[in-house]
Amino acid sequence: MSSLSEEEEIERVENGECDDKQLAFITMLKDYKVLLSKSQVPSVKEKKAKATTEFLAALQEKLMLTYTKATLSKKISRMKTDVKNKCDANRTGNKKLNLKLWENVMAELIGAETNPSIAQIQGAASVGVSVRVARPLIPSPPLLLDSENTAELIVPPAKRPSLNTVKRKTGDDVLKSLETDDTKLLSLTQLQRLVLLEQLKVLNMKRQRLENEILATKHINVNDGSQFELPDI
């Protein structure tokens, strides 16, 4: 006997039917991938207009679904946004990620970057079953080639790094280049105080130099050898 109430069972069936309709919709959309493009190039816009007309007719004929160009565009945009948000690793982190069949198809169409901690289950049903669950990523074992007496171990060749690859400096690299034996012993607060003291030292030196220049210009020698003193401002 089912543990679900009658209302819950009806809701489950309706949700399953909705998922099936979404899957049928997205499966047909695979033939009109240009509708997923954001390009505003005239040639692409022309292709999108033609694809929209054909897709609307196909939906009406095969699924008995009626859309306008505006509502069709909104539906596709909403489906893309929902799947992108669900697949965004920055949002999900290590959280378990559940994708329905139609969401998985959309993710493949738009090339969404999915959470690396999830993996697809082959052959999962579309109603009430997640097509992705969390599982540890285990490296594949090396291939074994059986012979008459021994099992020969075949290890895939290691990939050599490209010689053209240029190592980029990171923030840590920059800090290490500026680090000294003295600064290594200082805490963050002490480092901040040291920076302020250095800045104050520079300001004092600039002020002293400016004062010396002002004193030097107070007495000006004229051609006849006489001197006069400039008034203080």
Which of these, 108, 160, 154, 98, lies nearest to 129 by C-alpha position? 98
At 186, the amino acid letter reads L
What confidence tens digit (pLDDT) does each residue in 73-87 have?
A: 999 999 989 888 888
Where is average pLDDT lowest: 55-59, 61-65, 162-166?
162-166
Q: Which residue has the tokens 């289950």?
A: 121
Token readout for 122 is 């082959």
- pTM of the shown model: 0.42
**Dihedral (Cα; 26, 114, 92, 21), 10-degree rounding:** 10
Report the C-alpha gap between 224 and 124 in whole angstroms.
105
What confidence tens digit (pLDDT) does each residue in 146-202 have?
A: 444 444 455 566 666 665 555 676 767 767 777 788 877 888 788 888 888 888 898
Report the C-alpha gap between 113 and 155 in whole angstroms.
30
